[in-house]
A = this chain, B = another copy of it.
Amino acid sequence: MRYLPLTDADRSAMLARIGAASIDDLFVDVPEAARLAGPIAGLPAHASELAVERHMSRLARRNLSAGEAPFFLGCGAYRHHVPASVDHLIQRGEFLTSYTPYQPEIAQGTLQALFEFQTQVARLFGCDVANASMYDGSTACWEAITMARRVTKRDKAILSAGLHPHYVSLAKTMARFTGDRLDAAIPDLTPGAPGDDMARLLAAIDGETSCVVVQNPNILGHVADLSELAARCHEKGALLVAVVTEPVALGAIRSPGEMGADIVVGEGQSIGVGLNFGGPYVGLFACAEKHVRQMPGRLAGVTADADGQRGFVLTLSTREQHIRREKATSNICTNAGLCALAFSVHLTLLGETGLRRLAELNHAGAVAAAERLAQVPGVELVNGAFFNEFTLKLPREARPVVRSLADKGILGGVSLGRLYPGEAALAGGLVVAVTETASAEDVETLAQALEAEIAA
């Protein structure tokens, strides 16, 4: 078999060295009753590459991939063009097939790349420090809430109505077991509304509040100034946790850190990683230096070797589960190293200049698209300010419209009905993301199809 180097001759020689008569002798500690006599039932025997490739390709063809359709989906996962060199580099065996850098002398490649990643994330988010990645944005968000609890020793978190509903859902799941108190709400679809629930948040902060969690741009695409919120949090001894699900936005707008956020977490997928039907993605986590010892996850840091040469190591592991066990800041072990590398390579290729240009392109495309789509009779643009994603209010339920567009080969957006089932006030909402991968013709195709749908 192609992945197994032992020959039968090898196996015999090795059993002889071990002093075992047969391979079964090595499984003597498995109780008789638990031993399977033969191969797993139902699973076919080993197969050639060709046969497996045929099977998997057949399944892949049953999906409508984004490249085959005018594509406008966002809501936490964004399609950007990733340079070919990114995938080439992360597939280098030395990156792809290495482990968590526990032996730093022979893992400087990974460690230096992570150190660069941390610096990029910290600067992008406007924070002092960042860690070496989390699973994804949603889990990073919950980790931020628990960190705020540890820092403030309070357990009430106020979640913005603009926070991604999956992130809210995850937090609710966890809070049910940890006892954290969550104050959540659903967004307001009134066109012209401020687009975030700043007033509610400002009012809710009190002396028991551990943190306020606010997403920017938020689930409807709104962008907002967080400065006042940060000031109020700090006044009350709470932390401001900001969530960024579209980091490309930070090429155009001020970072949460600059606006006063204490912890900034995010989903790094939109830079370098690709859609992948939701995973693997990469969680970004940054905060103020003073809180670093309460931070979850791995950290690469600088040190020197026995010859005095600069080198990198994993550090502050006394926060981590393999040292602290039940007293760790988090149970996270494996994170998203390779996706963090992809993020970092892509961001290095972009650089300041490229990221800003990319953000400009996205914004310009989104503004043009929003204006075009708002001309469709019956459709209203909900947002005042936005980056590359905005929400339309349709005169009918948006979910069937989305499905009907898909039947025509158009991936036209995410309906709020899918994200907030049962919330009648949101059923008409359609969130449309417009990145550099959407052409003007794509927008026109969507506009005309939407018009036809609504007229139908």
Contacts and interface: CB of A to CB of B under 8 A. Distances in A.
Nearest to A96: B88
Contact of A88 (B48, B67, B91, B437): B91
A2 B357 CA distance: 14
A48 B435 CA distance: 14
Contacts of A349: 2
Contacts of A81: 48-50, 53
A197 interface: no
A50 B437 contact: yes
Contacts of A67: 57
Interface in A1-52: 2, 48-50
Interface in A63-110: 67, 81, 83-84, 88, 91-93
A83 B2 CA distance: 11
A183 interface: no
How many chain A residues sit at the interface, stated as a range, is 10 to 19
A49 B83 contact: yes
A188 interface: no
Contacts of A93: 92
A451 interface: no
A360 interface: no
Given A57-B67, A92-B93, 12 more contacts: A2-B83, A2-B349, A48-B81, A49-B81, A49-B83, A49-B84, A50-B81, A50-B436, A50-B437, A53-B81, A88-B91, A92-B92
A93 B89 CA distance: 9
Nearest to A94: B92
7 contacts: A2-B349, A49-B84, A50-B436, A50-B437, A53-B81, A92-B92, A92-B93
Nearest to A91: B88
Interface in A322-356: 349
A91 B87 CA distance: 12
Interface string A434-451: 001100000000000000
Nearest to A49: B83
A411 to B, nearest CB: 17
Contacts of A437: 50
9 tightest A-B CB contacts, nearest first:
A50-B81, A49-B83, A49-B81, A50-B437, A50-B436, A49-B84, A88-B91, A48-B81, A92-B92
Contacts of A84: 49
A78 to B, nearest CB: 14
A49 B436 CA distance: 12
A315 B50 CA distance: 39
A267 to B, nearest CB: 22
A240 to B, nearest CB: 36
Contacts of A49: 81, 83-84
A91 B53 CA distance: 20
Contacts of A436: 50
